[in-house]
Chain A
Amino acid sequence: MGETLADPERTLAARDPGRAAWCHFDPAWYLLATPELAAELDDTSPAALRRHYLDSGAPSGLSPNMFFDEAWYRLRYPEIAAAIAAGRITSGYAHYCAIGYLTHTPHWLYDEDVYAASTTDISETALAAAGCANLYDHYLKAGAAEGRIAHPMFDPATQHDASPSAGPFERFLQHAWATGEDQRVSPYFDPAWFRASYPSLTAEIEAGYHACALHAYLCQFGAQAGLPWRDPLPQFSEAFYRATQPEAVAAIQAGAVLSGYEYFLKFGVFALHTPAPGIDLAAFLADNADLAEAIAQGRQRDAFAALLHRPPRPSSAPASPPTPAIAPPPPPAAATAGSGHLEQFGHHATAGGWLFTGWINPAPPALPDATLAALLRFEHAEIAAPATIASYPRADVAPLGIGIAGFLPMPDPQAGPPTSLTLTLPGGHAWTLAPVANVQPTHDQDLATRLLPVLEQLPEGPARAQLVALARRHFFNGANTLPLLRQPMFLEMEEAIICPPHGLTIIGWTLSAPGTLAAIRLHCGPRRTELRLADSIRHDRPDVRDSVGAQHGLTADPRSGFIAHLPDSWQPDAPSYLEVETTDGQIAHRGLNPPRLRGMEAIRFLADRVNVRYNAVPPAFDHVLGPSITALNAARLQTRPVVQTIAFGPQPQTPALSVIVTLYGRLDFMEYQFALLSRHTPAFPVEYLYVLDDPTLRWDAENLAASIYQRFRIPLRLLLLDRNMGYAPANNIGLAEASGANICFLNSDVFPATPDWMERLSARLAENPTLGAVGPLLVFEDGCVQHQGMHFERIPVMGNWHFPIHQRKGWRPPAERGLQPADAITGACLMLPRALALELGGFDEAYLIGDFEDADLCLKLRARGLSCAVDLDTTLYHLERQSQTGPEQLWRRNLTLFNAWLHERRWAATLAELDPPCPAC
């Protein structure tokens, strides 16, 4: 063991010109490089920081000073990292001080081999005489100031105003650690490009993981986890280089170098290796006659540096970054039909389309680095879309062919494997590519893994950037990754409701700075559907604005709440998640609240959350509530109730009339109805069918019906539904059970005033063959008109849709008598022939909660040339329950609006006829 290792008092002493410059503990830098220590430690005195380094810093990988980089050392020498992990040595620094200093490289920006090549003029004896422990010590103490190169990517000459107290190397490091700012310190690394290409970098530097972009490039710890080594500048492709230089890969595997670029800079560049597709250093050298001489004289290190300094072809269009040279293939004579093959292809869900590589033949005169018209064919389908295409030269298909890579948007991949792809240039050149025999598509993450090495070797340009970004889009792993976005962006869900079979309605809120959100998409199994906020119902969420919004300065738009309906987006039992795309191309994901609401509960939940008026009504129903409620209601009605029929008393065999009453909530109305019916014995047999649409009241209804029959001796049947169905289905169940020649739909809150009302209404039907349905005059308890017929009028606040309006409602009864025609009559008491009712299918069950069904039925009659009328000689009471207003009745209003929406869509033409637009308007 060397004495330095045995003596931490010396290795961790203050900096001393008498010792190696790298051998000290620098408390000020230690605190600078580990900013969280300031908060962690009560005592940040040099002694306390040194103690911290000894106790926890060194074992956990912190460095004692700026010149020894513990993390890099462990990255560069994995065997030392293993020895530390095994507890055989305490730290890389201890190893370096003890023995490593003789052979190892201690810092990411210092290369022992490179410096040795720069210091062939200095003998070991001279080194010792100068008081230097090793070459690195020499570099720190003198070499850097002398402008000697110790790393290809750091040229001390770039640090012009180096102060005598700190050399250029030290000064550069000090500046980087203190500010996080980049400097261009060699031609071989482009910090600005690097930051732009790896957007997560800035945040990492800000968080203190790296001193600067160069540090981040040289210390790519992700490589240990298998991540691809990042590129330093646009003119070098690590993936391409590794793919084309097996000896570089071997050197990396042997641990001689960390990256292909390191190999290239140290060796390959002198052998004129191709750094990236299309960059031909030999050709460059040949084109620039003076260059070989400059290199030979040492004025220029290598051809690559020269290429980086000046564009390869002075005549070519200026491009930034410089566009690599592509050998122009011979131009085809005219627009031709070419061919080609798809080699690797598949659907990438988060990219939202097909990614592919392959080649085409003949190569076009110029393939625009943009979009081409594309047609992707499948066995039973095809899709045309603009495809993003990038091309690159390929020796194996040259000189006539050219390699291509591309992307074709197609959210839903359900068409199966593609059979061919046709690409067309604006001038008419077209190529049809067939999949290579026996190659099956791979998808998503597998596809990305296969394609990225190829995509990354594409020539630099927008197409390459887009393709690489698309392929790199990560997949949902169950975590909410919105917080990782560079801009604050929030997407929260209150509820997701399945609108069977494949619709999904999402209630939630979202907040982001204006212009930062590009799209929200739902992924569900193979389906990928955009959640279009423009088509959703937006509403104020003051709670969100005042909390999250205020916290993040996102208070511009208070309408953060949304309800969106996504048709054809849901796949039962398939994994699902939401994807957010930012305008700068970032992607984040979050999970979906498991849908739990169904049927009426779901309908009511939705209807309770919307408060729209006037012209906000139609879009809300066209895009969201209309399709949502239609689907939910249709699904709800799929399950038909079990109907149990109980007969009280002997039922009439051939009734002339069936009276159908549905019961919901209140049962006692039945008693009043029978009390009043019992005043009069009808002239013909009547059957009474009471449909209980309220399963919770079953026992009460049975008992009350039994008692009513005993009291009044009027036979009736009770139809008990095991689930709540609603007005139209319940009445239709009654209709199916009825056997009278006529039927009368009667509300439970309608009570006879004219004793022989049934005979009178039946007679009207018998006397008028064109009369489809007839109803009585209905009055309130105070004798005012409740109903004497309806007509249709637009109501602006209710979406300007047509509503059935009760004529003269609330006025004293009319002086006229007899049969009065009406556009429509109420279903509260509506008599029509049973055969006709059955033909029409009863009330339309698509409507909810019992309005508009009657109007719809009357318009169906009208469509058959039959009329409706009110018999003003016949009166019944209708104690229409007071319609309550206020927020708790919001859902009822919205269900009425839903019915109006449906009714308007069904009957627009008829309604225009009945309510012609005013000619003056």
Chain B
Amino acid sequence: MPRLLILSNSHPAVSHGGSELAAWRLFEQFRARKDWDTWLLGCGREPAAGRLGSAISQPFSDREFLYAAGGFDWFKFANTDETFPAAFEAVLRDTQPDILHFHHYMNFGVEAFLIARRILPNVRIVLTLHEFQAICNHMGQMVTRPDLSLCYAASPRACNRCYPDIPRADFFLRNTYLHRFFALVDQFIAPSHFLATRFVEWGIPAEKMAVIENVIAEPAPGPTTPRTPDGLLRLGFFGQITPLKGISVLLAAAAHLHSEGAPISFDIHGDCSSQQPEFQAEFRAMLAEAGPNVRFHGPYDNQRVDALMRGCDAILVPSVWWENSPVVIQEALRNRRPVICSDIGGMAEKIRPAQDGFHFRMGNALALATLLRHLATDRTQLDTLQATMRQPPSANEVVKAHVALYKQGSSAFLKKSAQKTSSPGVSDRGPDSRE
């Protein structure tokens, strides 16, 4: 039986970010299968996540490990916690995985690939990419600092413009460092072609790259709220209230439409309490200007997202950064809600215009207002999408795609060969001068 160790930069018991939920759902799928032996190694950065003197513990189940992350270099994703390599080695020797599937490299550090390769020379290392962190020091968003313009490619020169205090040479070193360890990964997975393309452009061999959507939850059963008799177009926004999510584009369009008396309402669901105070104040001021058709509901529990989306006629995704494969789009599609989104990056890829929803020019509130006025006037445009709208892949389909990738070029584990563990000190088999 093949053995799979999934590594997640967090754990659902610790936090609910996109990457850890994706890792967790994949883990749940494989754990449920009788033909796979599966473990999860998550991370907790909270104090006392570990047990005294032990960096990795099992607080939840015998299939779940939790690493209490220590010192970390966020510039080059290096793990400076000297206890990690040995603790990680112990997990690897205990679980003896054939497949090591990383969801993200935060908290473990990119050297984890080297440690794994040293302990298990034949293990297949798979890495699912979540945003552009390795490429871009600006929280992996590929938008410039401080003016948040779209960025098309990183380079020491360009990155130094965003971070004048960090010399070009340091960006060169950062890049060199990450590539040195990314070279040890056998298979990369991107949830969107857009993300995959960016990483291939950055230097990952195209033949190592595959695109597979992350596993998302099955929709919770429930009725769709019928269209209101007065013909009001009900739009929903779901997600963090941040500058890059384009909330100001939404509010500016809403204010415009309110002044025209257009029959359109906006329901905003999301948390802005962790944002900068200046942005929160700006958000509230725009909210007050936007008129009575905009309602801000605050944070929502993900358990209720299906019910909330079914109360909307369409979902708005006005982000002003590239996005990867936004979960909110997958959630909208699984609830058969059309998506109205910015015309760039992962959003544009996932929503086919006039089939799954509509695009508008990124950052352009007037374009959004015009589109919405149009859709409110002619409701058939949204209605007809029900016939063409695609469904997100089922969990089963996603798992099948993963198994196929796991097996690719790695038939060794299927033969159940006895030689699993190398003796310590054997050199890795990483290519010498790939960089």
Residues of A within 8 A of B (CB): 668-669, 671-672, 675-676, 678-681, 703-704, 706-707, 709-713, 749, 751, 753-756, 780-782, 877, 879, 881-882
* A782 and B181 alpha carbons, distance in the complex (Å): 21
Binary contact track B169-187/A, C-beta < 8 Å → 1, others 0 = 1001100110011000000
* A491 and B76 alpha carbons, distance in the complex (Å): 57
* 5 extra interface residue pairs, beta carbon distance < 8 Å, beyond A681-B427, A709-B82, A710-B82: A703-B71, A710-B86, A711-B115, A753-B433, A781-B169
Query: Which residue of chain A has its CB nearest to the CB of B173?
Result: A672
Q: How far is the CB of B429 from chain A (nearest CB, A)?
A: 11
- Say whether B12 faces chain A, with CB atoms less than 8 Å apart: no
- Say whether B81 faces chain A, with CB atoms less than 8 Å apart: yes
B71 touches A679 (CB 8 A): no
Q: A707-B82, A712-B114 are in contact. Are A679 and B173 (CB under 8 A)?
A: no
* A679 and B169 alpha carbons, distance in the complex (Å): 21
A713 touches B82 (CB 8 A): no
B80 touches A704 (CB 8 A): yes
Q: How far is the CB of B38 from chain A (nearest CB, A)?
A: 27
With a cutoff of 8 Å between Cβ atoms, the chain B residues found around residue A712 in the complex are 111, 114
Q: How far is the CB of B74 from chain A (nearest CB, A)?
A: 12
In the assembled complex, 6 residue pairs joining A and B whose CB atoms fall closer than 8 Å, in A order, are A672-B176, A679-B180, A703-B71, A780-B169, A877-B176, A881-B169
Number of interface residues of B (CB under 8 A): 35
- Say whether B345 faces chain A, with CB atoms less than 8 Å apart: no
With a cutoff of 8 Å between Cβ atoms, the chain A residues found around residue B114 in the complex are 678, 711-712
A781 touches B172 (CB 8 A): yes
With a cutoff of 8 Å between Cβ atoms, the chain B residues found around residue A877 in the complex are 172, 176
- Say whether B84 faces chain A, with CB atoms less than 8 Å apart: yes
Binary contact track B80-96/A, C-beta < 8 Å → 1, others 0 = 11111110000000000
Partner of B82, one of A706, A751, A882: A706
Q: A706-B82, A707-B81 are in contact. Are A675 and B181 (CB under 8 A)?
A: yes
A713 touches B425 (CB 8 A): yes
Q: A707-B81, A710-B84 are in contact. Are A672 and B177 (CB under 8 A)?
A: yes
With a cutoff of 8 Å between Cβ atoms, the chain A residues found around residue B85 in the complex are 710-711
* A914 and B211 alpha carbons, distance in the complex (Å): 62
Most buried by B among A668, A669, A678, A711: A711
Binary contact track B57-85/A, C-beta < 8 Å → 1, others 0 = 00000000000000101001011111111
Q: How far is the CB of A207 from chain B (nearest CB, A)?
A: 65
B176 touches A676 (CB 8 A): yes
With a cutoff of 8 Å between Cβ atoms, the chain A residues found around residue B156 in the complex are 781-782
With a cutoff of 8 Å between Cβ atoms, the chain A residues found around residue B205 in the complex are none
Partner of B80, one of A676, A680, A681, A707: A707
A703 touches B172 (CB 8 A): no
Q: How far is the CB of A30 from chain B (nearest CB, A)?
A: 77
Q: How far is the CB of B107 from chain A (nearest CB, A)?
A: 15
- Say whether B165 faces chain A, with CB atoms less than 8 Å apart: no
6 pairs of A and B residues whose beta carbons are closest in the complex: A781-B172, A879-B169, A707-B82, A710-B85, A681-B427, A755-B432
A707 touches B427 (CB 8 A): no
* A668 and B173 alpha carbons, distance in the complex (Å): 10
A707 touches B71 (CB 8 A): yes
- Say whether B118 faces chain A, with CB atoms less than 8 Å apart: yes
Most buried by A among B81, B86, B172, B424: B172
Q: How far is the CB of A580 from chain B (nearest CB, A)?
A: 51
Give the A-B pair count, Cβ closer than 8 A: 77
With a cutoff of 8 Å between Cβ atoms, the chain A residues found around residue B425 in the complex are 713
A679 touches B118 (CB 8 A): no
Most buried by A among B81, B111, B424, B428: B111
Q: How far is the CB of B147 from chain A (nearest CB, A)?
A: 25
Query: Which residue of chain A has its CB nearest to the CB of B82?
Result: A707
With a cutoff of 8 Å between Cβ atoms, the chain A residues found around residue B140 in the complex are none
- Say whether B203 faces chain A, with CB atoms less than 8 Å apart: no
Q: How far is the CB of B15 from chain A (nearest CB, A)?
A: 25
Query: Which residue of chain B has its CB nearest to the CB of A755?
Result: B432
Binary contact track B97-111/A, C-beta < 8 Å → 1, others 0 = 000000000000101
Binary contact track B193-220/A, C-beta < 8 Å → 1, others 0 = 0000000000000000000000000000
Q: How far is the CB of A714 from chain B (nearest CB, A)?
A: 11
B86 touches A675 (CB 8 A): no
A755 touches B433 (CB 8 A): yes
With a cutoff of 8 Å between Cβ atoms, the chain B residues found around residue A675 in the complex are 111, 176-177, 180-181
Query: Which residue of chain A has its CB nearest to the CB of B115?
Result: A711
B180 touches A676 (CB 8 A): yes
With a cutoff of 8 Å between Cβ atoms, the chain A residues found around residue B428 in the complex are 678
Partner of B118, one of A713, A749, A755: A713
Partner of A679, one of B76, B80, B167, B432: B432
Query: Which residue of chain B has its CB nearest to the CB of A756?
Result: B432
Q: A679-B430, A754-B433 are in contact. Are A703 and B80 (CB under 8 A)?
A: yes
* A681 and B428 alpha carbons, distance in the complex (Å): 9
With a cutoff of 8 Å between Cβ atoms, the chain A residues found around residue B176 in the complex are 672, 675-676, 751, 877
Q: How far is the CB of B389 from chain A (nearest CB, A)?
A: 47
Binary contact track B106-149/A, C-beta < 8 Å → 1, others 0 = 00010100110010000000000000000000000000000000
* A707 and B84 alpha carbons, distance in the complex (Å): 9
* A406 and B177 alpha carbons, distance in the complex (Å): 82
Q: How far is the CB of B299 from chain A (nearest CB, A)?
A: 38
B14-72 contacts to A, CB under 8 A, are 71
* A676 and B175 alpha carbons, distance in the complex (Å): 12
With a cutoff of 8 Å between Cβ atoms, the chain B residues found around residue A749 in the complex are 169
* A626 and B432 alpha carbons, distance in the complex (Å): 49
- Say whether B168 faces chain A, with CB atoms less than 8 Å apart: yes
* A710 and B55 alpha carbons, distance in the complex (Å): 14
Q: How far is the CB of B76 from chain A (nearest CB, A)?
A: 8
Q: A711-B115, A882-B167 are in contact. Are A680 and B432 (CB under 8 A)?
A: yes
* A680 and B177 alpha carbons, distance in the complex (Å): 15
Binary contact track B410-435/A, C-beta < 8 Å → 1, others 0 = 00000000000000110110111100
A879 touches B180 (CB 8 A): no
With a cutoff of 8 Å between Cβ atoms, the chain A residues found around residue B78 in the complex are 671, 711
* A700 and B72 alpha carbons, distance in the complex (Å): 13
Query: Which residue of chain B has its CB nearest to the CB of A678?
Result: B114
* A753 and B180 alpha carbons, distance in the complex (Å): 11
With a cutoff of 8 Å between Cβ atoms, the chain B residues found around residue A668 in the complex are 73
B172 touches A679 (CB 8 A): no
With a cutoff of 8 Å between Cβ atoms, the chain A residues found around residue B168 in the complex are 781
With a cutoff of 8 Å between Cβ atoms, the chain B residues found around residue A756 in the complex are 432
Query: Which residue of chain A has its CB nearest to the CB of B171?
Result: A781
* A753 and B115 alpha carbons, distance in the complex (Å): 22
With a cutoff of 8 Å between Cβ atoms, the chain B residues found around residue A706 in the complex are 82
With a cutoff of 8 Å between Cβ atoms, the chain B residues found around residue A755 in the complex are 432-433
With a cutoff of 8 Å between Cβ atoms, the chain B residues found around residue A704 in the complex are 80
Q: How far is the CB of A663 from chain B (nearest CB, A)?
A: 16
With a cutoff of 8 Å between Cβ atoms, the chain B residues found around residue A782 in the complex are 156
* A751 and B433 alpha carbons, distance in the complex (Å): 13
* A166 and B143 alpha carbons, distance in the complex (Å): 105
* A749 and B173 alpha carbons, distance in the complex (Å): 10
* A755 and B432 alpha carbons, distance in the complex (Å): 6
With a cutoff of 8 Å between Cβ atoms, the chain A residues found around residue B427 in the complex are 681
Q: A672-B176, A675-B177, A713-B118 are in contact. Are A703 and B82 (CB under 8 A)?
A: yes
With a cutoff of 8 Å between Cβ atoms, the chain B residues found around residue A710 in the complex are 82-86
Q: How far is the CB of A715 from chain B (nearest CB, A)?
A: 11
With a cutoff of 8 Å between Cβ atoms, the chain B residues found around residue A711 in the complex are 78-79, 85, 109, 111, 114-115
Q: How far is the CB of A351 from chain B (nearest CB, A)?
A: 62
Partner of A879, one of B81, B86, B172, B181: B172
With a cutoff of 8 Å between Cβ atoms, the chain A residues found around residue B83 in the complex are 710
With a cutoff of 8 Å between Cβ atoms, the chain A residues found around residue B177 in the complex are 671-672, 675
* A710 and B73 alpha carbons, distance in the complex (Å): 16
Binary contact track B148-173/A, C-beta < 8 Å → 1, others 0 = 00000000100000000001110011
With a cutoff of 8 Å between Cβ atoms, the chain A residues found around residue B172 in the complex are 781, 877, 879
* A567 and B84 alpha carbons, distance in the complex (Å): 60
Query: Which residue of chain B has its CB nearest to the CB of A752?
Result: B433
Q: How far is the CB of B219 from chain A (nearest CB, A)?
A: 44
